[in-house]
């Protein structure tokens, strides 16, 4: 066997990622999405793969699709004969030939996804089922397999004309915005087109509308008896100003609608029980509050109430819809006054099944039988498989048993459970899992890649923090491959701060931390206050009072690894993306201990962020609105420490980032330039709040490498583009 080598930047484009999974109805095969890079084209592709569910280790992986588009959302037909999926590939010849002659290209969205079906018995090319001008958001097979229900944007004739005009490549028309949520990162400026449900006959492709009107209906779920369809919809009439998503049931023939929840939930992931009598879903107690734990809840279908006219049911069920912040609040609480959310007239008759859970339930909700469910939920720095009883509301985490990795997806069929388990030593693979928590690997997607390289297995640490009170804070330490805690001595430290802040670092395989460890850095990740999975109080502690607690936590982590002798106190460095970039900006304004730092896609001035980013509800719930609470906005923003910044700071930003807008990085950059602090600003054209291009991924790591090396870090590899650009 060839000797393993340290990870290098050349390996960025050779990575693959296992994403979604779908278990066949008989539990014998699992379909999955595998994402990979195309280096020459500098893009990503997603293909479908198939693996057997065997009791004796990984079986042979079979690639099902090979196009240049994006294939995802695999779903088996009830008999297991067909596998449907969403794809952005070009129309097949049969569907293209049926395209209306007067259908303009300008009415089509870029990369629109359609439903395609593979015959898993006879094989052959995939057959296209839909051709919606705006694509398909979601779909589900009917219990008979003869129909599908789809969710798709359905513009009116006037909206079709508007979309065609603004999408004209030569002479685009002006954008006309009238929504409160007028923009969203990655989606651009938002229009007011609604998403509705349609039933499609698989054999003929004929479709009929199921819903319509002035609100959107999403996430359809067919009842087990095939007589009705569950869906989620915000029908407050003001969906941009709240997160009230209710559950509704419509007859499969469109003849009647029933309301299942009462305006007090933010429902997602809803699923009928196998007998059709109950619906399980995920919701927080206060939908607009992102710091609260989300739970598994159940409602009885028998409690649903009839609705005469779904289109007329806008604003019905609330005494106040809210949305408008009142003026003239002198002497009042500006935060409380700005929480102008809907006031429901009634309360949903539901049972919360996960009282006391340490972290939010994320999704993959699956009924195991009529009385028990599985889901993925957060538990002290991991996503784990959660088993829940719908009878007595007891819950327990069942897998993984060890504190290594996180569960990223889950499915269940025919008494068999499968999960995507992302571990630092194997990366994300598909595993079979039992109700006793026993796990067996079914795929070996990354084995050839990992066989060539050394990897770092993270080490959990726990320490006290001045901000923790009775809590202890946890973190992860990645040592250079081959080193143990006993061997490590005075290594250069890279503090890598996670985003969110309502998120956490888990012991998964991440290229960045593996690369820095391979370069010889000690990498520290801290699950600071505000991180999820450590209880709701731990997360909520930072609400409306950002900065100092998180900073105290990460610096306590730095002190811990320095006191252990692992880190060199003279060579400390800091970086982070998104909220991690915000906390990096805060750190350099509140300590001089770092020799250099790198802020990626962060924020600086919260007053000017309001209205230019896409998070107005978050600001409103935490801080009120800036014209009524400007002093607090200024106090908790990183700009509050501007005159204390002396640390050399590299700033990276996306041109079209609307989560943490480019203007934030520009303000920070110019503030430091005016004060004579060493700084550079790197703007990635066309990029949003994400790392989408493999060349950009490599470029940013090269630039970080060169920046740290310039200020006493490990010498950067010679010859890189960033090395030359920074010289």
Assign 144 to helix, strand or coil: coil
Structural domain span for residue 534: 459-726
Q: What's the number of domains the chain is made of?
A: 2
**pLDDT at site 109:** 45
The answer to whether residue 223 is domain-embedded is no
Domain boundary among 420, 453, 486: 453
**Token pair in block for residue 378:** 């957060």
With a cut of 60, say whether residue 108 has pLDDT above it. Answer: no
> What's the burial of 200, exposed, middle or buried (CB within 10 Å: 0-12/13-18/19+)?
buried
What is the share, in percent, of the chain residues with pLDDT greater than 90? 88
Instruction: Mark whether 587 and 719 lie in a shared domain.
Output: yes
Bridge partner residues of 275 (DSSP): none
Tens-digit pLDDT profile for residues 465-502: 998 776 799 999 999 999 999 999 999 999 999 999 99
Instruction: Mark whether 429 and 472 lie in a shared domain.
Output: no
With a cut of 70, say whether residue 103 has pLDDT above it. Answer: no
52-81: average pLDDT: 94
Give the predicted TM-score (pTM) of the model.
Answer: 0.95
**Token pair in block for residue 497:** 């701060």
pLDDT tier at 11, thresholds 50, 70, 90: confident
The answer to whether residue 586 is domain-embedded is yes
Bridge partner residues of 493 (DSSP): 522, 572
Instruction: Mark whether 404 and 511 lie in a shared domain.
Output: no
Instruction: Mark whether 517 and 548 lie in a shared domain.
Output: yes
- Please, where are the H alpha helices in 214-320? none
Could you say which DSSP state residue 10 is in? Answer: G
Q: Out of 36-50, 394-408, 513-527, pick the least confident.
A: 36-50
Cβ–Cβ < 8 Å for 360, 378: yes
**pLDDT at site 215:** 97
Domain boundary among 433, 453, 473: 453
Tens-digit pLDDT profile for residues 248-259: 999 999 999 999
Task: Please state the separation of Cα 529 from the chain's center in Å.
Answer: 20
Q: Out of 80-89, 94-103, 192-201, 503-512, pick the least confident.
A: 94-103
**pLDDT at site 95:** 85
Instruction: Mark whether 563 and 444 lie in a shared domain.
Output: no
The answer to whether residue 638 is domain-embedded is yes
pLDDT tier at 718, thresholds 50, 70, 90: confident
Cβ–Cβ < 8 Å for 721, 699: yes
Tens-digit pLDDT profile for residues 140-178: 999 999 999 999 999 999 999 999 999 999 999 999 999
Instruction: Mark whether 405 and 550 lie in a shared domain.
Output: no
Bridge partner residues of 50 (DSSP): 31, 62
Instruction: Mark whether 445 and 466 lie in a shared domain.
Output: no
pLDDT tier at 422, thresholds 50, 70, 90: very high
CATH of the domain at 468: 3.40.50.1820
């Amino acid at each position: 066997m060839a000797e393993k080598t340290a990870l290098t930047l050349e390996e960025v484009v050779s990575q693959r990622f296992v994403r979604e999974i779908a278990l066949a109805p008989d539990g014998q095969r699992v379909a999955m999405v595998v994402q990979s890079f195309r280096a020459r084209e500098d893009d990503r592709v997603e293909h479908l793969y198939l693996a057997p569910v065997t009791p004796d280790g990984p079986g042979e992986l079979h690639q099902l699709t090979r196009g240049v588009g994006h294939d995802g959302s695999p779903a088996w037909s009830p008999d297991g004969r067909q596998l449907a999926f969403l794809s952005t590939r070009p129309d097949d010849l049969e569907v293209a030939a049926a395209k209306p002659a007067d259908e303009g290209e300008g009415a089509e969205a870029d990369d629109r996804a359609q439903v395609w079906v593979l015959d898993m018995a006879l094989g052959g090319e995939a057959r296209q089922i839909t051709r919606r001008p705006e694509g398909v958001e979601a779909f589900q097979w009917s219990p008979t397999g003869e129909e599908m229900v789809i969710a798709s944007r359905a513009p009116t004739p006037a909206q079709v004309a508007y979309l065609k005009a603004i999408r004209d490549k030569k002479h685009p028309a002006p954008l006309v915005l009238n929504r409160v949520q007028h923009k969203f990162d990655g989606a651009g400026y938002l229009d007011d087109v609604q998403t509705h449900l349609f039933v499609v006959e698989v054999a003929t492709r004929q479709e009929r509308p199921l819903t319509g009107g002035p609100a959107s209906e999403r996430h359809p779920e067919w009842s087990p008896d095939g007589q009705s369809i569950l869906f989620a919809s915000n029908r407050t009439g003001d969906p941009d100003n709240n997160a009230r998503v209710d559950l509704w049931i419509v007859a499969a023939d469109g003849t009647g609608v029933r309301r299942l929840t009462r305006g007090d939930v933010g429902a997602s992931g809803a699923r009928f029980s196998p007998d059709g009598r109950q619906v399980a879903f995920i919701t927080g107690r206060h939908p607009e509050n992102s710091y609260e734990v989300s739970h598994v809840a159940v409602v009885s279908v028998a409690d649903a109430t009839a609705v005469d006219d779904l289109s007329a049911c806008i604003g019905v069920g609330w005494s106040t819809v809210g949305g408008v912040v009142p003026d003239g609040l002198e002497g009042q609480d500006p935060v409380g006054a700005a929480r102008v959310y809907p006031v429901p007239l009634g309360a949903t008759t539901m049972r919360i099944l996960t009282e006391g859970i340490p972290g939010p339930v994320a999704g993959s909700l699956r009924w195991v039988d009529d009385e028990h469910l599985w889901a993925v939920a957060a538990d002290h720095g991991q996503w784990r498989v959660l088993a829940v009883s719908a009878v007595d509301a007891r819950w327990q985490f069942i897998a993984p048993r060890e504190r290594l990795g996180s569960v990223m997806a889950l499915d269940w069929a025919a008494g068999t459970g499968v999960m995507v388990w992302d571990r630092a030593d194997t990366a994300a693979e598909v595993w079979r899992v039992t109700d006793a928590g026993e796990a067996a690997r079914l795929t070996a997607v990354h084995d050839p890649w990992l066989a060539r390289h050394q990897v770092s297995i993270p080490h959990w640490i726990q320490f006290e923090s001045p901000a923790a009170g009775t809590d202890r804070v946890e973190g992860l330490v990645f040592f250079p491959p081959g080193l143990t805690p006993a061997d490590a001595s005075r290594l250069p430290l890279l503090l890598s701060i996670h985003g969110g802040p309502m998120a956490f670092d888990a012991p998964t395989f991440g290229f960045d931390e593996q690369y820095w460890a391979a370069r010889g850095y000690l990498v520290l990740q801290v699950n600071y206050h505000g991180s999820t999975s450590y209880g709701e109080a731990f997360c909520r502690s930072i609400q409306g009072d950002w900065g100092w607690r998180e900073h105290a936590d990460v610096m306590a982590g730095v002190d811990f690894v320095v006191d252990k002798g692992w880190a060199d106190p003279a060579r400390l460095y800091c970086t982070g993306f998104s909220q991690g970039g915000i906390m990096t900006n805060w750190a350099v304004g509140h300590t001089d201990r770092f020799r250099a730092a790198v802020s990626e896609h962060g924020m600086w001035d919260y007053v000017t962020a309001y209205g230019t980013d896409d998070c107005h509800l978050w600001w409103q719930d935490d801080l009120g609105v800036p014209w009524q609470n400007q002093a607090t906005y200024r106090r908790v923003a990183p700009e509050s420490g501007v005159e204390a910044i002396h640390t050399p700071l590299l700033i990276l930003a996306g041109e079209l980032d609307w989560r943490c807008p480019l203007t934030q990085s520009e303000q920070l950059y110019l503030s430091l330039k005016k004060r004579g602090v060493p700084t550079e600003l790197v703007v990635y054209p066309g990029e949003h709040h994400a790392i989408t291009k493999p060349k950009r991924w490599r470029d940013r790591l090269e630039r970080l490498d060169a920046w740290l090396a310039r200020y006493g870090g490990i010498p950067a590899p010679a010859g890189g583009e960033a090395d030359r650009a920074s010289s």
